């Protein structure tokens, strides 16, 4: 599929006629309204909806929404930057018709992700989806590189009837346990049915480690589609959970202790249809470029954490020896290094080989996270950054001197430390552009200030049902 062009007032070529036909089709299927979705800087998915009959107008002229949401916090408080957060102005939301999906678990509704432009028809520099589209398009135009990406989705399933904001796990059966699968049999079958109807290619669905935790993974897609899909998957999981009297939390840490919910990001870099992570002269079949891509990422991980783990709750999850990958190290199939090299099984390596970035959670805006991870990797390629030695076993076991000698650093232990590293990272800030980079800093500072008086349990409670 050719890359999507930016929306323009009047609509992208062909969209008006397409929306006309689509609106009729959707109405005939019983669809009443369309959810127009985007993710804000804080990682919250914000929506507007329009009735089916307005789809044509929406693709031509967009749907209005204030830019103020770019500096909303997860608790809906508003912070400001030089250019964002004021009550003035308006943006137009343009649905991407290629990604419009009839929602299987929300009868009467369809869903589409949007790009946002100004009323004058310019790119909105705070639009994270436009940012990721730009990063991906530039990589192809300048370097002939394309990507395949996937975002794993972990969630904690609680009972909706639990009092207040409490988390009462929907099952206390063992991790990966058959009992857990049996207890939630109808629920998980309904989930799979919804994804089948929505043509979301589920790879796996399994009971995870923490109480009430499940995980779903999907096939690899181009990065923008992968980010869209992660938003759609969460919308669907929430809707199916709701029908069962259950409540899904994608918060990095539903409670202050123990294993949290990750949003591990899988990524591979390709040139002319060839996977650079396989068949090369480097370690585990990586090409030199793939090695440098990983090295570039490792170098910038502390700063990247401000984007991939953007919530105060993220730092309750980012603890050693909990498979969240909190050390700047890589290893083949190592679940404690920040980057796990996945070679794939013999016979499938040229298709499957990829890297997994673990210190990513689902409070992260997936468009920002993927765009920044790709920018960091590309910078590694551009500067031919050498890949350090592999770390086997848990890097937490390295004695401090050895870790220092091998360049293995602990990732930031708080959001404010991550923001400090991000502020210093000129390359990442330039990739995002000043508007988005400043929004990232302001929103993270706002989140930090909003929990200043809370202990860990209070932080977990504050964000439990926000993501």
Candidates 335, 406, 417, 423: give the one binding ligand GLU (CB under 6 A): 335
Residue list 362-421, contact with ligand GLU (CB under 6 A): none
DSSP string, 83-133: SSS-S---EEEEE-GGG-EE-TTSTTEEEEEEEEEETTSPBPTT-HHHHHH
**309: which 2 tokens?**
């783990």
- 234 contact choice in ligand GLU, Mg ion, none (CB below 5 to 8 Å, kind-dependent): none
Question: 323 is in the binding site of which of ligand GLU, Mg ion, none (Cβ under 5 to 8 A by kind)?
Answer: ligand GLU
Report the C-alpha gap between 6 and 132 in whole angstroms.
Answer: 12
Q: Verify binding: residue 154, ligand GLU, rule CB under 6 A.
A: yes
Q: Find which of ligand GLU, Mg ion, none residue 335 binds, CB within 5 to 8 Å per kind.
A: ligand GLU
Residue 12 or 358: which CB sits closer to ligand GLU? 358
* Distances from the Cα of 397 to the Cα of 262, 332, 336, 337, angstroms: 22, 17, 11, 12
Burial of 174: CB neighbours in 10 Å, binned 0-12, 13-18, 19+: exposed
CB 280 within 8 A of CB 343: no
* Cα first-last separation, the chain: 31
Cα(204)–Cα(219) distance, rounded to whole angstroms? 9
- Longest CA–CA separation in the chain, Å: 67
Q: How far is the CB of 317 from ligand GLU (least distance, A)?
A: 5
- 317 contributes a contact to ligand GLU by CB under 6 A: yes
Region for residue 199 given its phi and psi (left: phi exceeds 0; alpha: psi -120 to 50; beta: otherwise)? left
Min separation Cβ 410 and Mg ion, Å: 22
Q: How far is the CB of 158 from Mg ion (least distance, A)?
A: 18
By the rule CB under 5 A, 336 interacts with Mg ion? no
Structure tokens at 38: 């985007």
CB 289 within 8 A of CB 277: no
Nearest approach in angstroms of CB 264 to ligand GLU is 6
Q: What Rg, from alpha-carbon coordinates, does the chain have?
A: 21
- Indicate the helix (H) or strand (E) that contains 338: strand 337-342
- Min separation Cβ 127 and ligand GLU, Å: 28
Cβ proximity to Mg ion, 160 vs 176, nearer residue? 176
Measured from each CB, the residue nearest to Mg ion is 215
Binding track over 157-196 against Mg ion, x by CB under 5 A: ----------------------------------------
336 lies in the site for ligand GLU, by CB under 6 A: no
Q: Which of 97, 246, 324, 378 binds ligand GLU (CB under 6 A)?
A: 324
19 closest CA partner among 37, 34, 3: 34
Task: Rule CB under 5 A: say whether 40 interacts with Mg ion.
Answer: no
Residues 221 and 201: their CA atoms lie apart, in Å, by: 10
Nearer to ligand GLU, 270 or 323 (CB): 323
Nearer to ligand GLU, 154 or 190 (CB): 154
Region of 29-37, 166-174, 254-262, 297-305 interacting with ligand GLU (CB under 6 A):
254-262
CB of 5 to ligand GLU, least distance (A): 36
Report the residue number, 96 or 154, with the smaller CB distance to ligand GLU. Answer: 154
Q: Determine the 3-state secondary structure of 275 from DSSP.
A: strand
Draw the binding track, 205-244, toward Mg ion (x: CB under 5 A; -: no contact): ----------x-----------------------------
Give me the residues that bind Mg ion (CB under 5 A), please.
215
Give me the residues that bind ligand GLU (CB under 6 A), please.
154, 209, 259-260, 262, 317, 323-324, 335, 358
């Amino acid at each position: 599929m050719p890359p999507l062009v930016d929306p323009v007032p009047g609509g992208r070529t062909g969209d008006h006629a397409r929306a006309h036909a689509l609106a009729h089709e959707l109405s005939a299927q019983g669809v009443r309204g369309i959810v127009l979705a985007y993710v804000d800087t804080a990682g919250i998915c914000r929506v507007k909806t329009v009735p089916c009959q307005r789809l044509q107008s929406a693709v031509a002229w967009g749907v209005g929404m204030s830019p103020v949401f770019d500096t909303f916090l997860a608790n809906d408080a508003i912070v400001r930057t030089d250019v964002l957060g004021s009550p003035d102005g308006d943006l137009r939301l343009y649905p991407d018709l290629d990604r419009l999906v009839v929602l299987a678990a929300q009868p009467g509704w369809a869903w589409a992700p949007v790009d946002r432009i100004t009323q004058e028809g310019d790119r909105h520099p705070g639009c994270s989806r436009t940012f990721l589209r730009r990063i991906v398009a530039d990589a192809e135009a300048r370097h002939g590189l394309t990507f395949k990406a996937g975002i794993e989705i972990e969630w904690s399933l609680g009972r909706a009837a639990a009092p207040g904001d409490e988390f009462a796990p929907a099952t206390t059966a063992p991790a990966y346990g058959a009992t857990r699968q049996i207890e939630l049999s109808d629920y998980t079958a309904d989930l799979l049915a919804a994804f089948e109807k929505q043509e979301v290619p589920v790879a796996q669905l399994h009971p995870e480690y923490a109480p009430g935790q499940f995980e779903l993974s999907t096939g690899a897609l181009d990065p923008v589609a992968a980010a869209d899909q992660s938003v759609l998957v969460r919308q669907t999981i929430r809707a199916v959970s709701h029908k069962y009297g259950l409540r899904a939390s994608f918060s990095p840490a539903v409670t202050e202790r123990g294993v949290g919910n990750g949003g591990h990001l899988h990524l591979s870099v390709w040139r002319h249809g060839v996977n650079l992570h396989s068949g090369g002269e480097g370690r585990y079949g990586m090409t030199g470029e793939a090695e440098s891509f990983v090295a570039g990422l490792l170098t910038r991980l502390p700063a990247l954490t401000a984007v991939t783990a953007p919530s105060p709750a993220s730092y309750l999850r980012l603890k050693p020896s909990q498979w969240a990958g909190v050390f700047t190290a890589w290893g083949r199939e190592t679940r404690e290094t920040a980057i796990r090299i996945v070679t794939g099984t013999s016979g499938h390596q040229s298709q499957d080989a990829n890297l997994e970035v673990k210190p990513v959670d689902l409070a992260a805006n997936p468009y920002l996270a993927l765009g920044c991870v790709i920018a960091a990797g590309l910078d590694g390629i551009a500067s031919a950054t050498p890949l350090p030695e592999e770390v086997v076993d848990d890097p937490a076991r390295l004695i401090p001197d050895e870790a220092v000698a091998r360049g293995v650093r602990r990732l930031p232990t708080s959001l404010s430390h991550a923001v400090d590293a991000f502020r210093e990272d000129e390359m990442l800030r330039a990739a995002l552009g000043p508007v988005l980079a400043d929004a990232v800093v302001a929103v993270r500072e706002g989140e930090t200030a909003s929990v200043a008086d809370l202990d860990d349990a209070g932080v977990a409670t504050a964000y439990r049902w926000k993501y």
